[in-house]
Amino acid sequence: MQTYNIHEAKTRLSKLVDQAARGESFVIAKAGKPLVKVIALSVPEPSQRQRFGFMAGQIQLPDDFNTMGETRIEKLLRSDE
């Protein structure tokens, strides 16, 4: 990701806005210290990205999922007695 100081960003603002609109984000810094990140509005922010449930409806679990292998597991655990 490219970093520009404030003066350079002001000088190239039109080109930088076009760049961000194409999905190429950039950082604006002041005195070498990053201040802001510029991204296109169409790019979802990290907090908007869906994490859980992204495969909803694509995977099916058997009805006995929570008890699968229960007998075998009990047998393995009791074998030490």
What is the predicted pLDDT for the residue at 23? 86
What is the predicted pLDDT for the residue at 51? 66
Q: pLDDT-derived band of residue 80, with 50, 70 and 90 as boundaries?
A: low
Single pTM value for the model: 0.51
Q: Tell me the pLDDT tens digit for each residue of 21-63.
A: 988 999 999 998 999 999 888 766 666 566 677 778 888 888 8
Residue 75 sits at φ, ψ, to 5 deg, of: -65, -40
Q: Tell me the pLDDT tens digit for each residue of 9-18.
A: 999 999 999 9
* All domains in the chain, ordered by first residue: 1-40 (3.40.1620.10)
The sheet with strand 2-5 has its strands ordered as 2-5, 26-30, 33-38
